[in-house]
Amino acid sequence: MKRVFGFIIVLIILGGILKACIKADVPDVENKISNKENLEEIIYPNEPKNIILNGVDYLQTQAPTGKFGGEFVISTIGEGPKTFNPCNTKDATSSAMAGLLYDGLLTTEPRTGKVVPLLAKSYEIKGNDYVIHLRKGIKWTDGKPITADDVMYTYEEIVFKGLGNPSTMDAMMIEGRLPTLTKIDDYTVKFTTSKPFAPFLRQLSYQIVPKHYFKPYSDMGAKAFDTFLNPNTEPKTIVSSGAFKLKEYVAAQRVVFERNPNYYKVNLDNKQLPYIDKLVYLIVGDTNNEILKFEAKEIDVLSLKGDNVARYKSREAKSDYKVYNLGADTGTMFIVINLNNKKDKNGKYFISSIKQRWFQNKNFRTAIDWAIDRKSMIQNVAFGVAKPLFTAESLNSIYLNKNIKGHVCDKVKAAKLLEEAGFKLKNNVLYDNYGNKVEFDLYTNAGNLEREALGVMIKQDLEELGMKVNFKPVEFNSLVNKLTNTHDWDFAIMGLTGSPLEPHDGKNVWTSGGSLHMFNMGVNKGVSSKSNRENIYPWEKELDEIFEKGALKLTYEERKPLYDRYQEIIYEEKPIIYLYSPTRITAIRNKFRNIYPTPLSGLLYNLDEIYIEK
């Protein structure tokens, strides 16, 4: 499991957390599109079953039998995928598309949140040993068998070596040690952790890749591996295991997938899935184009935001689509602040600029938080279809710290905090105590109109305090490069995907050695937090300790206080300032069947089961 840049339970425990959070100031929406109305009326199929056909271990869906054929057209905002390598994805679009091509050993059941087999037929837990039994007879798209050798290769030569995106390696570390992996036979492997490790099973959702196809590139080292399966790769050469295989990629236009005839899932008639012949992702650039294409019936599903929610809901009865409320977003949206220091020629760390002195001042960061008008953001950008967010866990997380209540915008308090920190306001211009004007850059990814609108509002909020904010939307890859490599940035509006079930998935963000520890990653990037604690703040050390301890506690009751504390630290220290949590509302064409949305997994988690009623 890993968190990536994007903007991507036990339901009895969650209770009211997953209720709709649409404000009443959006006309008639709250009553018409409640989470209860949309989801509780659905009769969900039973869990899939293992069956053996002609000596092959298939996974049989229990969803109603459908019709084969047709195409499903989806959209993606931005410039399209950066890679099709599932081991090297760092953005939500690439992760989603690579996820179509490759499956993991285990997955999360979409309603209950429990861990269930996928490429694995079954698993056993014996103390610190996790024994995985693979399906026999299933194949890669080139016809070669999927075996224990592929599992051994994926973990030992990619995950454990930190190739590509090292987030899973970060998450699997226990006090600086990785699990061991043993091959029992061609279809059985055993993972052994050094200690009981609560999050471990969920780490086994990592996509398994074919050794015979990937190994020549991993053997050439990290640089070659990072370019492997880039968007210029010839689609027909890609060897994969998922429900769909890549058919065509046209830069900045579309990504086309076709059904994988070797897929190991079957329907109730024992015919191999998926039903859909062709799955198309149109690359639409921005949300305005996405809406236009849905109106023109060029795409089949649309994520609704802002004032479009009420408009589409009011037209639903006479339309060819249905609107679903999926509850609070499972990801988070925030401002991240650059707290990185630099090394001089003698290897000593120093505050590298005037701006770094400001950013490292806790009162300065707190003033930013109090100056942000979340209520206006929700009204003017989200049109009431959101709630304020003040925590590092999403609003539907079972680990949400409900004691963090947040606050309303208070620019008087913000100004007082700045004054206490030595800043002075002269002629509506803010100066530090050395006479420097307060001016800095605020970045986000161009094309995401929601974030661009938020950037304009944040700029206005902070300029009321006398700060000059240069708002700069840039191409997504350039922004990620700034955040994770060059550190040439000040503030950025970003989002991360997340899990409402497992805070440990955020270890790569919060521990000092994490690969997405954006606010202070220059020193410790790519190393265990135990092996290098140089030049980190005391509260970062506490975060390291929390994530080490939290993974070793085995019950929710033991873990909850630790993860409450990590949220308190982030709220108090504010290296990241959270904005709001949108409600996920989606429209999909009525012609599609086997649609079983859940607050945990969203709308399209079961693309292999979806079919078209012709």
pLDDT tens digit string along 261-280? 999 999 999 999 999 999 99
SS3 223: helix
Q: Kindly indicate the confidence band of residue 530, based on its pLDDT and cuts at 50, 70 and 90.
A: very low
Tokens of 241: 């295991």
128 contacts: CB under 8 Å, gap ≥ 6: 192, 193, 194, 195, 196, 197
- Burial profile 459-489: b = 16 or more Cβ within 10 angstroms, e = fewer: eebbeebbbebebebbebeebbebbbeebeb
Residues 191 and 129 sit within 8 Å (Cβ to Cβ): yes
Residue that wins the pLDDT comparison between 5 and 114: 114
Q: What is the spatial distance between Cα 87 and Cα 97, in angstroms, rounded to a whole number?
A: 12
Mean of all residue pLDDT scores within the chain: 89
Distance CA 79, CA 61 (A): 34
Residue type, 415: A
The pLDDT of residue 528? 41
What is the layout of strands, in order, in the sheet containing 188-192? 120-126, 129-134, 188-192, 180-185
Of the pLDDT bands very low, low, confident and very high (cuts 50, 70, 90), residue 74 is very high
Does residue 158 contact residue 214 with C-beta atoms inside 8 Å?
Answer: yes
Mean pLDDT to the nearest integer, 295-319: 92
- Residue 367's pLDDT is what? 98
Q: What is the pTM of this model?
A: 0.83
Average pLDDT on 332-336 reads 96
Q: What mean pLDDT comes out for the span 433-460? A: 94
What local confidence, expressed as pLDDT, does residue 28 receive? Answer: 31
What does the pLDDT average to over 187-194?
Answer: 97
Q: Is the pLDDT of residue 170 over 90?
A: no
pLDDT at 7 over 50: no
For the ranges 12-21, 124-133, 310-319, the lowest mean pLDDT is seen at: 12-21
Model confidence at 347, in pLDDT bands (50, 70, 90)? low
What pLDDT band is residue 158 in, cutting at 50, 70 and 90?
A: very high
Under 8 Å between Cβ of 384 and 583: no
Q: What token pair was written down for 300?
A: 């089949």
> What mean pLDDT do residues 367-372 have?
98
Can you tell me the distance from the alpha carbon of 514 to that of 528, in angstroms, rounded to the nearest whole number?
8
Give 484's pLDDT tier (boundaries 50, 70, 90): confident
In contact, 345 and 525? CB cutoff 8 Å: no
Handedness of CA 464, 465, 466, 471 (dihedral sign): negative
**Highest-scoring range by mean pLDDT, 181-190, 298-307, 490-499:** 181-190
195, amino acid identity: K
Residue 597 to residue 341: CA distance in whole angstroms: 45
Q: How confident is the model at residue 346 (pLDDT cuts 50, 70, 90)?
A: low
> What's the confidence (pLDDT) of residue 342?
65
State mean pLDDT over 137-156.
Answer: 98
Which pLDDT score, from 0 to 100, does residue 215 have? 98
Q: What is the pLDDT of residue 229?
A: 97
Residue, of 32 and 146, whose pLDDT is higher = 146
Say whether pLDDT at 498 is over 90: no
Ranking 17-26, 131-140, 351-360, 479-488 by mean pLDDT, the lowest is: 17-26
Structure confidence at residue 481 (pLDDT): 87
Tokens describing residue 176: 């600086």
| Percentage of the chain modeled with pLDDT above 70 | 90
CA 94 to chain centre: 11
Q: Tell me what pLDDT residue 577 has.
A: 98
pLDDT attached to residue 285: 82
Q: Which pLDDT belongs to residue 531?
A: 38
**pLDDT, average across residues 100-111:** 96
pLDDT at 79 over 90: no
pLDDT at 317 over 90: yes
Strands 342-343, 491-496: pairing is unpaired
Q: Which domains does the chain have, with CATH numbers?
A: 101-227 (3.90.76.10), 329-373+409-498 (3.10.105.10), 502-575 (no CATH)
Residue 420 dihedral angles phi and psi, to the nearest 5°: -65, -25
In the numeric block, which tokens belong to residue 590? 């009525």
